[in-house]
Structure 1
Amino acid sequence: MQDLPDWRLLAQPGKATSPIPAVLSNHPQADLWTAIYEGRYLDVLRSDTGRHVLGLTGSTTEGTTYEDQLATQLTNGPAEAQAELRAGMLAVGVALLQLFVQQGWTGPRLELDTAEIIPPVLANTLGAPTDWTAALLKLLEVDGERAYHLTSDPYLLVLSRILLVRILCGVADDDAEPAAEGPMAPASAAWWATRCLRLHQSLLDENAATLASQIHTLQDRTGKILTGTTNQECAPTLPESLRSELLARYYLERGLVNEIYDRHHESVADFTRAQEASGLQWKVTGALGRRTKFQKFDVSQLVVMAESASLDPQIDSNAKTASANDTKAPHTLALNDDTVLESIHYTDGGDPTEQGNLRIIDQCVLLAFCLNIKNTNPSDGLTFEQMKPYVSRVISHPNNWMVHTMALVLRSRLEAEGSRTVERSALQLQALVDQMPSAESHVTERLAYFYTLQLPSRWELEKELALRFASLGVFRSALEIFERLEMWDEVISCYQMLEQASVAERIVRERLAVTPDDPKLLCLLGDLTNDPAHWERAWEVSGHRYARAMRSLGGRHYHEKRYSESIACYERALALNPLFENSWFMLGCAGLQVEDWATAARAFLRTTNLDPDNAEAWSNLASCYLRQDKKLDAFGAFRMAARKHHDSWRIWSNYLYVSIDLGFFSEAIAALDRVITLSYPKRQDDCLDVDVLNTIVQAAIRDRVDVHGVPVGRQAAVIERLLVNSITSRISSVPRVWKICADFWFWQKRYVQALDAHLKAYRCLVTNPALDHDQAVFVEVAEGALELTDAYRNLGPLPATPDGDAVTAADWNYQARLILRSLIGRTKDTFGDHPLHDRLTETLAELKAPKT
């Protein structure tokens, strides 16, 4: 049970008045964990254990690093002392991480003495104190992606990462595939390390592949411990009620990480597991209600009906029947609109305020599902309508400061799209930014559910507020915020929207005068001037580590049709950070241009791995496979492209040809149907490839087998629906289509339909107005008349039905003579001396001759 306090902290109720678990009284680091429970993180760092772990006591060996110093301590002394040191490292690492979150995300901020916390041996490697921040941010650079340069107290994260990730979990900074955990590491260390890395990712400009891989591996370790499938010797024995709460949190956090890295399908599965672990029951349904003050009738409104399971009060102090006044909530602005109601007025039940209260963890689950809806759907009104009931269900019961804050952030994003709610949207964001320094709620309440939310940092929240101002045309306020946060990308965007690009360039040059070797500023100057020399300089001054410079150069080379140079640039950028879907896609396009099919295929395959819904990448990948004569792989890629872009007739057409070529006839039939349905409105008769249709029908008639060894003739019913419902109902003027239909009906021994198809084929020909003067048309029509005559001769006497006495066409001779006589008379003056005209006359004579 040695690890139980840190596991209990993972399920901390988040109340300043919550009792400290009794298990702490007998724990070796009882004072440390009690301080962490109460949010006194500085007390942990100032304790004897904290000072020892941070290397603030005793002497240091010159030339050693902080990590080396810690590693040496872990290899000396008896096993019991080493285990106690690891437990102390965990407590200090957790305190550092929580303090970092408090400083940059949740507040209230503290005035910290950096020299009091940074280990002297680490400080010696950072240079002069004035250079510490830049050196620390350099340590946080991953895969060529830099951390936000105004990050609050980055040394807290650096130290926490060293303790939790490097020492306790044995993960080096550049380990894409972390090794096994350190010897006898506390079992919860992997979970805390995951949280540390997730915060690290949030500081970077773009997603980093190394962090993604490390987080995934460490989360797997934690999952094995919680599900009891690990062989780790120090894995704790957790009470079942605690394990259920932890599983809910674990799956929530894993799902949120998947959302960060755009793995949305995996995140849905994780959120569902979190729901199952917590016992939450919920559904989205409809209820009658009104939205405006003057509405005279009720309409159906989406509503989330949710109910929490029974709970263990020791795990979650917020019972289902708790009052909304049990906790202080962030300032929630009223709408105060003269038309739109503050909230939907439901008339048949479903009002969120009338439903029972939810456990806080269940509110987090609902917000996670809401976030997934936003990330997996287009930004349109329907998506916002889907999200609103989730937010309303949470806002109706303010149980926790940060959970309610997250719900208000989501509501603010939704209301930014409405003309009557956009004002509250901006003002609510402003209120949330202003609340962070306040002490209205205890730090433990703010941090209790922080990791189960996708809460933006303080500077990201301010950036969102500035973007909201910019969208409203309040550029001066937006610029003030962007310039204070030194977010130069956004500053430039604002000036470009104001058509003042020269001002943006002047600002960037002024900043470069202060920091001439800043690769980000150099790239921004390159973007403004379109001068590749700035991107090249950014690449050089970064020591070939700033991937953005190569991405910009690659794009420039591509647009100037220097495709080989573009490939080289994108390869360098992606070698640093391979999580850029667009860079992989552009690399693939450049490969296509120079016919480097292997490079293009590799690039498009990585694109589809990063974004399985990118239909264009799937289609291009299939084209590469065709060029490499990998037809089966091309078939699979085209099938994925068709699934992801169901409304592209071009993709379906490519899928059709590959299916026919490989013998996937059932897929070909479905693809041909889809091509006709999608392209007919614009392309009319050109939407049908008659050769493909003929191949399908002939395969059925001739008893061919498909790639699975199944006779194509078994698809007769499907082929018939294709002919009748999709083709001939739309395309009735193409003679060959009717001839193919005639062949099909004849094979089916449905002679009436076959003869009718032959007749329709001839009518398509004979109605051509050029028949009277164009010899080529006359030849085609004459041959059609002779074919129709043969059809009358062959089919007319046959029984119409297998069991009936009636024939297909009792007057077939008369009908055939009528066809020939009409055509002969119409073309006699123009083509009377043509050999085919003589054949028509001879055939008519044969039909008139008496039978012998």
Structure 2
Amino acid sequence: MSTSSTAAQIEKALVQGKWDSSLSDAPNNLIAVAKQVVDGDFRAILTSSFARTLFNPSTADFDRSLGEIFDFSKELDEDPITGELYRLFVAVACLHAYVQANWTGPDLNVTPLEVIPLEAPESVTEQALDAKAISELAYGGEPAYHLAKYPAFLRFSQLILDVPFTHLQTPVWWKLRATLLHQRTLDDPVAFTPDYEGALDSLETLYSDDHNLSGRLYLERGLLQHLFDQNRNALEYFVKAARATGMEYELSGALGKRTKFQVDEKSQLVLLAESHLEDDEEYNAKEEDEQASQFDDTASVSTAAEPKMPETLALNDDTLLEQTEFTSSRPTDTNTSRLSHIDPSKQPALHPLDQSILLSLCLNVKNTMPAHGLTNEQMAPYVARVITHPRNWSVHTMALLLRARLESQRTRTVERSAFQLQALVDQMPTADSTLRERLVYFHSILLPSKWEMERELALRYMSLGVIKSALEIFERLEMWEDVVQCYVSLSQAGKGLAIVRDLLEGRKEEADSVLARGKDGYAQRRATRDVAREAKLWCLLGDLEPEMAPERYQKAWTVSKESSGRAMRSLGGYYFAHNQYAEAVDCLKRAVKLNPLMPRPWFILGCACMRLEDWEGAANAFSRCVAIDEEDGESWSNLASMYLRLDEGAVKKAQNVDGDDTGAETETEDDDDKIAVAAVPFSNKLRAYRALKQGLKFGYENWRMWYNYMIVSMDVGELSEACRALGRVVEETVEKVGASAVDEDVLERLVDAVTRAPLDIEEAKKEGGDQYDVNSPNEGHGLYRNVLDLFERILLPRVSAPRVFKAYGRLMKWQNKWEDALKAYLDAYRCSDAATMEKGEQDVAKWREAVSEVEDVVGVLQNFGPRVDGFGKYKWKPQARSIVRAFMARTKDSFEDEPEWDRLVELQEELKKAEEE
């Protein structure tokens, strides 16, 4: 076997975390070393001769950065492929050593200082090496967690993987994994665009025929997008991963029971799923069944066959069942289901990789669904499907963690949720499963680190009101923001403020281990303290002291050497809140330059630019904002507003930032933020229309967006959309503002657009071509259906206004529905000033308008009355006379001397003569 083919097999084994038994011995003991990496014997790798060669410092000056101290580009073998493999072995060993120390356990048996062969100066200690690594791991103004164990291993792995690999294919994949671990080591992930995405695309093509590797790669790329809150991109990768592995899955329903005393069967949500990957060699369900059938003591065989899994706590509730008891062997929708052959209560075991994909899809459901009960109900079947068949220690741990999160919201399950979380924290340092089993699918899930798991437990305690227990955990983890929050909850905010001040002024040690060394050790620790974390403390102090906030944030900016994005975000937000918009723009521009993929700073920047009437700057900010979060409905609305304030050239210039029509969040501080579109280029109106249409997908309840959409739709000729928007505005606001919820001008324009077309479709085609065709949604008969629905379903049941009834009457007149038209005009008169004017009214102008309304309704009766079947010439005349007589009786005392009174008298005489005829 050639070195290149052997290298390809070794690379696959490393990526999968499973040894390929088909590999044979190779020169230089290459295979044996590779197997040590897969098996997790990191001490043997990191203390080997080639590792010592790699870690031999190139300088004795340990005050430099780790990248300058070590030259990781050294040749490790005469054969370049073998040399690159050895370098990759060391990188993977360092990366997984860091994972073992901080995620999976058990305790690591090698330290970073042990892998450096030369005797270092006395100043180089484990603590100093860790502090240097923590400082270098800080990114985008976010500090790395300062109590992470052996962070130098992660930094070493990064530096080794940054060295170009010319003969191997997978170093870029390991670079992706190192990035994921780096982001999870930061206090908060810092979104960025990796410079190796093109290489990952090539890797996808290379492994497209390998279902396992292809699925893993798609899944891990999706997890990175998930960390960056790019939920749409993450979902695409998760779905690609499922397709790559061949897994079939679908949410369905099946009859079953959820409680112990339930009598009637109800349809229960269930996730049907089936794997098509080959089973791992560590666990094969079919083999287990075969073995069990050969022995009487099946329990002992099952225990021996199954790897030990994390403890799954029982619910022990007096009402709820441990899990849904399905009474049907088929899903409800068997006609359309591809998986109708699966019994919901006896589903086949899934491959661990497919289980990981389901858990990732579950994460995506949590991110994309609104915060209501449906979210938990939709996530639960994903988790239950994985928990049913434990296959891998890490995957099962993740499933139990997700279930604990879901159950924390329900009264009957909150107790198990807390206990299960505590059990997961306690299992980390144990050796109840092999390291290889814990690592094999580690990169395919987002298993929290030890400190994240403990923090989550502390937050759970806080939600249950156990504040002091949470405080103890936060103080031990040195998560000072959470410590301060605990003291605020205990009404002791002063203590939290004192802690932050003591940390900054050197009166308080951060770690018990440092405190044990005495006060003399603090000076050195403070001198080497990570500047990003110190800057974060200054920002926290600014949050706690609002009167001194600008000085604190500026100090954080200075301490971080102008690298703290949080400092500029906080300072910009402060200036914006205090109406100092120019200063806010300056700060926020610095913040978005440091971290351009955070939507909130772009949003505030856009709003500040709006206040300064810098429309181009605002359009640029809003474009970036929706480019990051496409589902931000109000951001699209603000972008539309900017389009209507810019000329066409400025719009194109703003769009060039991202190459498409995008935007940011709406400034919702003013209630009267309705768009005016007087002298705006049509191209800009069209862009605004598209932006609002996109935004309404995610801001369906925002009536202001619907109002703006209605106005812009009218201007661009999308009358059917304007009709829909008017209906939504009325539905959302009519209970608060009544009849004023209807934009009567828009309504009348809609009716005009319908009624100007001939009633007869064939005649319309002859006169105007196809523009009045029934298929046109914005004119004539095509628009009529929408306008009629608007009246009958939304307006008439909710609104009583003269112009609304008259508009409906005109629509009915166009349809020759004379009875409906007459009724509409009479309804309009009944709620008009003429019908509601009381005796003693003194407003002459109002009375004169009322006279015109009386004359109008009489005219309608004269024209429509004879056309209505059963109404006839003898019925409309008395009604017309009654209207005139009643109006004259109410207003005679006040307005009998007015000139218009004679018109009423003449009208009354005319109706009297007509009735006598």
Q: Same fold (TM over 0.5)?
A: yes
SS at match of 2:597: coil
Instruction: Give the conservation status (yes or no) of the 8 Å contact 1:625–1:631.
Output: yes
Residue 9 of structure 2 is matched in structure 1 by 4
Equivalent residue number for residue 302 of structure 1: 269
Task: Tell me if structure 1 keeps the 8 A contact 2:718–2:778.
Answer: no
Consecutive unaligned residues in structure 1, runs of 5 or more: 14-18, 169-181, 228-239, 801-805
1:273 to 229, 237, 240: 240
Q: Which amino acid is the alignment partner of residue 388 of structure 1?
A: A
Distance of aligned partners of 1:61 and 1:612 in 2 relative to their CA distance in 1, 3 Å threshold: closer
Judging changes above 3 Å, is the alpha-carbon distance between structure 1 residues 290 and 700 closer, same or farther for their aligned structure 2 residues? closer
Match of 1:225 among 186, 190, 206: 206
Would the alpha carbon gap of residues 577 and 359 (structure 1) be closer, same or farther in structure 2, given more than 3 Å must change?
Answer: same
Counterpart mapping for 1:100-179 below 5 A: 100-118=98-116, 130-164=127-161, 166-168=162-164
Instruction: Render the CA deviation track for 1:20-58: whole Å, top value 9, x for unaligned.
Output: 431353477312211122221222223333333334799
Is the Cα contact below 8 Å between 1:771 and 1:777 reproduced in 2?
A: no
SS in structure 2 of the partner of residue 52 of structure 1: helix
- Select the residue among 201, 205, 227 that pairs with 2:187: 205
Q: Encode CA deviations 1:770-812: one digit per residue, 9 max, x unaligned.
A: 3652433432222112112333344445597xxxxx9986755
The 5 A counterparts of 1:326-405 are 326-349=306-329, 354-405=346-397
CA–CA separation in structure 1 for the residues paired with 2:479 and 2:60: 42
Partner of 2:48: 47
Matched to 2:52, the amino acid is R
Partner of residue 536, structure 2: 520
The alignment's TM-score, normalised by the length of structure 2, stands at: 0.81
What is the match of residue 30 of structure 1? 31
In 2, the alpha carbon distance for the partners of 1:199 and 1:353 equals: 37
1:431 to 423, 439, 446: 423
Q: Helix, strand or coil: the match of 2:267?
A: strand
Number of the residue aligned with 1:745: 812
Q: 1:317 and 1:4 mapped to 2: Cα distance?
A: 22
The answer (yes or no) to whether the contact 2:274–2:348 under 8 Å persists in 1 is: yes
For the pair 1:721 / 2:718, whether they are aligned, the reply is no
Q: Could you tell me how far apart the structure 2 residues matched to 1:580 and 1:538 are?
A: 20
Q: How many Å apart are 1:116 and its aligned residue?
A: 2.7
The answer to whether the aligner puts 1:761 opposite 2:828 as a matched pair is yes
Alignment gaps of 5+ in structure 2: 290-301, 331-342, 507-525, 647-679, 758-767
Please list, as runs of the form range in 1=range in 2, the aligned pairs for 1:645-684 lying within 5 A after superposition.
645-684=699-738
Q: CA deviation at 1:664?
A: 1.8
TM-aligned CA distance change 1:128 to 1:69, over 3 Å = closer
Evaluate the alpha carbon distance shift between residue 68 and residue 496 of structure 1 in structure 2; reply closer, same or farther with a 3 A threshold: closer
Distance 1:252 1:527 in 2: 38
Contact kept? 1:551, 1:570, Cα under 8 Å:
yes
Q: CA deviation at 1:361?
A: 1.4
Asked if the contact 1:290/1:346 (under 8 Å) is kept, the reply is yes
Q: What secondary structure sits across from 2:746 in the alignment?
A: helix
Alpha-carbon separation, structure 1, partners of 2:912 and 2:752: 35
1:610 is matched with which residue?
A: 628
Pick from 769, 773, 780: which aligns with 2:841?
773
Residues 60 and 69 of structure 2 are in contact (CA less than 8 Å); yes or no, is this contact kept in structure 1?
Answer: no
Aligned to 1:312: 278
Q: How far is 1:60 from its partner?
A: 12
**Contact persistence 2:73–2:160 (CA under 8 A):** no
**Cα separation, partners in 2 of 1:59 and 1:261, compared to 1, 3 Å:** closer
Tell me how far apart the structure 2 counterparts of residues 535 and 297 of structure 1 sit (CA, whole Å): 62
The percentage of counterpart residues that share the same residue type is: 40
Deviations 1:262-311 (A, max 9, x none): 122222222222222222222222334444444444433322222222x4
What is the one-letter code of the residue matched to 1:225?
L
- Give the match for residue 661 of structure 2: none
Q: State the 1:719 CA deviation.
A: 1.3
Number of matched pairs: 805
User: 1:428 deviation in Å?
Assistant: 1.6
What residue number does 1:89 align with?
87
- 1:478-511 Cα shifts (integer Å, max 9, x gaps): 1221111111111111111111111112212222
Deviates most, 639-648 or 397-406: 639-648
3-state secondary structure, aligned to 1:833: coil
**Could you tell me whether the CA contact under 8 Å between 1:772 and 1:778 is conserved in 2?**
no
Shift of 1:604: 2.4
Query: Residues 754 and 615 (structure 1 numbering): CA distance in 2 closer, same or farther, change over 3 Å?
Result: same
**Partner-residue secondary structure (3-state), 2:829:** helix
Query: Retained in 2: the 8 A contact 1:795–1:808?
Result: no
Aligned to 2:174: 192
RMSD between aligned alpha carbons?
3.3
1:71-114 CA distances to partner (integer Å, 9 max, x unpaired)? 8646x99xx73333222222221222122211111111213232
Amino acid in structure 1 at the alignment position of 2:11: D
Comparing 484-493 and 712-721, the one that deviates more = 712-721
Bigger CA drift: 686-695 or 587-596? 587-596
Q: Which segment is superposed worse, 252-261 or 770-779? A: 770-779
The alpha-carbon distance between structure 1 residues 711 and 605, as it changes in their structure 2 partners (threshold 3 A), is closer
Q: 1:669: Cα distance to partner?
A: 0.7
Query: 1:128–1:356: structure 2 CA closer, same or farther, 3 Å change rule?
Result: closer
Distance 2:714 2:24 in 1: 70
- Whole-Å separation in 1 of the counterparts to 2:266 and 2:407: 21
SS of aligned partner of 1:643: coil
Equivalent residue runs for 1:472-487 within 5 Å:
472-487=464-479
Residue number in structure 1 paired with 2:637: 619
Structure 1 residues 487, 583: closer, same or farther in 2, change over 3 A?
Answer: same
Aligned pair in 2 of structure 1 residues 133, 676: CA closer, same or farther (>3 Å)? same
TM-score after normalising by structure 1: 0.87
Q: Which moved more, 1:444-453 or 1:549-558?
A: 549-558
SS in 1 for 2:321: strand
User: Compared with structure 1, are the counterparts of its residues 114 and 91 closer, same or farther at alpha carbon in structure 2 (3 Å cutoff)?
Assistant: closer
* 1:782 paired to 2:778: no
Aligned equivalent of 2:587? 569
Cα gap change, 1:549/1:432 in structure 2, threshold over 3 Å: closer, same or farther? same
Helix, strand or coil: the match of 2:269?
A: strand
Taking the aligned partners of 1:63 and 1:730, their CA distance within structure 2 comes to 75
Q: Does 541-550 or 281-290 show the bigger shift?
A: 281-290
Partner Cα separation in structure 1 for residue 707 and residue 117 of structure 2: 65
Q: Tell me if structure 2 keeps the 8 A contact 1:198–1:215.
A: no
Contact 2:112 2:126 in 1 (8 A): no
Would the alpha carbon gap of residues 799 and 538 (structure 1) be closer, same or farther in structure 2, given more than 3 Å must change? closer
Structure-2 change in CA distance of 1:272 and 1:808 (3 Å) = farther
- Change in 2 beyond 3 A, CA 1:244/1:12: same
Confirm or deny: 8 A CA contact 1:649 1:679 kept in the other structure: yes
Shift in alpha-carbon separation, 1:321–1:665, aligned structure 2, 3 A: farther
- 1:718 to partner: Cα distance: 1.4
SS of the residue 1:3 aligns to: helix
Question: Measured at CA, do residues 20 and 825 of structure 1 come closer, stay the same or move farther in structure 2, by a change above 3 Å?
Answer: closer
Distance in 1 between the 2:540 and 2:899 partners?
78
